[in-house]
């Protein structure tokens, strides 16, 4: 399974919304370096806490992204908008899942994927 890297950003006062937008813009760049998935979350309890999650196949892929020119430029451009030190941690993903088409409902029946509505004739 892939490695999951959690980056815990903490925005400085009154910059949480703009900085969260910046993190959301830079997160997809990880896909260019081999990441398979990314997410960015803002805490509902502490709007200054922003979590960036990136699924990578190896530590080398992560460091190519983290030490790459886009992230170096991102950190330089946003200096003063986040608190230092930036902390990140590694996790091994054991399992994951999500609701999607053809997933069994609670009764054991398969729910078909919704079909788009047909346009009404005028």
Q: Write down the domain spans for the chain.
A: 3-79
What's the pLDDT at 95? Answer: 82
Tens-digit pLDDT profile for the chain (122 aa)? 578 999 999 999 999 999 999 999 999 999 999 999 999 999 999 999 999 999 999 999 999 999 999 999 999 999 999 999 998 899 988 888 878 776 566 666 655 555 556 666 65
Contact present, 9 and 79 (Cβ < 8 Å): no
C-alpha distances in Å from residue 88, one per residue of 4, 33, 36, 52: 10, 18, 18, 9
pTM of the predicted model as reported, rounded to 2 decimal places:
0.76
Q: Which CATH class is domain 3-79?
A: alpha beta
Rounded Cα gap, residues 47 and 31, in angstroms = 26
Query: What is the per-residue burial (b if ≥16 Cβ within 10 Å, else e) of 23-50?
Result: beebbebbeebbbeebebebeeeeebbb
């Amino acid at each position: 399974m892939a490695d999951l890297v959690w980056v815990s950003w903490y925005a400085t006062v009154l910059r949480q919304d703009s900085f969260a937008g910046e993190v959301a813009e830079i997160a997809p760049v990880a896909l260019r370096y081999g990441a398979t998935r990314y997410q960015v979350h803002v805490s509902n309890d502490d709007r200054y806490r922003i979590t960036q999650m990136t699924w990578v196949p190896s530590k080398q892929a992560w460091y190519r992204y983290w030490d790459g020119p886009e992230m170096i430029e991102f950190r330089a451009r946003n200096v003063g908008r986040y608190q230092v030190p930036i902390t990140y941690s590694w996790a091994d993903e054991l399992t994951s899942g999500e609701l999607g088409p053809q997933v069994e409902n609670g009764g054991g029946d398969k729910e078909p994927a919704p079909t788009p509505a047909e346009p009404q004739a005028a």
